């Protein structure tokens, strides 16, 4: 895949992110002004450490949408002339953020007590989004070497195929919707273990790749990427389960700082790797 095609992909993602953000914002404003916006009566919370705040849940969803288009635009500008396979797989993170916005349709369309096909579809989209982001980081670590250049399109296709297959076949429970507008999935512990395992594997692979350089300075930048993955993943999870003001703040800080650090180190290593 050429740099020109990759840049067009990120331009499309940036525009798509803005488009969906505008659409969901318009639907949200319309529902709010016409008193159609419904909050959960007896919220099923993912955690009870902090006081429930439905506005924080909505803000976290909007943050996903806004950050997706902003990150895509930043990558388009910052990596415009940078040849890096890693940044190609980061498209999965962008798409994951855009997909998280679909959760807004639950309060806007008042689907809290529904068992419609739309609700099931939204639940599967959410599962895809939540497995796509960690797998994107893993694929970025596994298939970023120069000898994988000819297989870039195939690897990218495998990334999305695996995530979609996982999302559409993983069991979900449309009778349970959490306080953060998420249709709950079955075997929650197993799903969490899979995600954590994928992230840990991505961190270990990134660490090994940087260590193989044999250069202490390159090692430090590799460690920075590992730290970026940790912070980003922690922020991503915090925002996905956010239903309180403290979780919203923690999620935004970790997500933003982790993403910035990861991309910064990736940019340096792509331009200075020896």
- pLDDT for 274 equals 41
CA distance 29 to 37: 9
Please count the structural domains in the chain. 1
Domain-located, residue 254: yes
- pLDDT for 188 equals 81
CA distance 216 to 52: 46
- pLDDT of 216 > 50? The answer is no
User: Residue 95 sits in which domain range?
Assistant: 3-40+50-272
Q: What is the pLDDT of residues 59-101, one digit of tens each?
A: 999 999 999 999 999 988 888 777 777 888 899 999 999 999 9
Domain-located, residue 68: yes
Instruction: Report which DSSP code applies to 53.
Output: -
Least confident of 7-16, 60-69, 118-127, 149-158: 149-158
- pLDDT for 114 equals 75
Please name which of 188, 30, 54 lies closest in space to residue 112, comparing C-alpha atoms.
54
- The CATH number covering residue 18 comes to 1.20.1070
Domain-located, residue 135: yes
CA distance 89 to 134: 11
Domain-located, residue 45: no
- pLDDT for 157 equals 92
> What is the mean pLDDT of the segment spanning 233-245?
92
* Straight-line distance from the first to the last Cα atom of the chain, in angstroms, rounded to the nearest whole number: 22
CA distance 210 to 201: 14
Q: What is the pTM for the complete model shown?
A: 0.90
Domain-located, residue 164: yes
Whole-number average pLDDT of the chain: 86
Domain-located, residue 202: yes
Q: What is the pLDDT of residues 168-205, one digit of tens each?
A: 888 888 888 888 888 888 888 888 899 999 999 999 98
CA distance 1 to 5: 7
> What is the mean pLDDT of the segment spanning 228-249?
93
- pLDDT for 219 equals 62
- pLDDT of 209 > 90? The answer is no
Domain-located, residue 11: yes
Domain-located, residue 69: yes
Bigger pLDDT: 94 or 51?
A: 94
């Amino acid at each position: 895949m050429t740099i020109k095609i990759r840049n067009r992909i990120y331009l499309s993602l940036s525009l798509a992110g803005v488009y969906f953000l505008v659409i969901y914002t318009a639907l949200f404003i319309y529902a709010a002004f016409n008193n159609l916006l419904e909050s959960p009566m007896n919220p099923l919370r993912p955690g009870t450490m902090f006081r429930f705040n439905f506005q924080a849940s909505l803000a976290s969803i909007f943050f996903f949408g806004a950050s997706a288009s902003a990150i895509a635009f930043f990558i388009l500008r910052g990596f415009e002339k940078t040849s890096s396979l890693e940044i190609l797989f980061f498209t999965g993170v962008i798409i994951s953020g855009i997909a998280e916005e679909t959760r807004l349709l639950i309060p806007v369309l008042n689907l809290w007590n529904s068992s419609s096909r739309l609700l099931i579809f939204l639940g599967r989209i959410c599962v895809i989004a939540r497995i796509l982001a960690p797998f994107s980081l893993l694929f970025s670590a596994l298939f970023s070497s120069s000898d994988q250049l000819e297989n870039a399109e195939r690897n990218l296709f495998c990334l999305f195929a695996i995530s979609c297959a996982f999302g559409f076949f993983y069991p979900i429970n449309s009778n349970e919707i959490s306080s953060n507008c998420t249709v709950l999935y079955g075997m929650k512990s197993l799903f969490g273990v899979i995600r954590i395992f994928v992230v840990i594997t991505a961190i270990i692979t990134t660490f090994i790749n940087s260590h193989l350089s044999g250069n202490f300075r390159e090692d430090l930048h590799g460690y920075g990427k590992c730290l970026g993955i940790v912070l980003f993943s922690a922020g991503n999870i915090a925002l996905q389960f956010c239903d309180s003001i403290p979780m919203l703040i923690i999620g935004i800080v970790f997500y933003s700082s982790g993403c910035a650090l990861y991309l910064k180190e990736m940019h340096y290593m792509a331009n200075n790797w020896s």
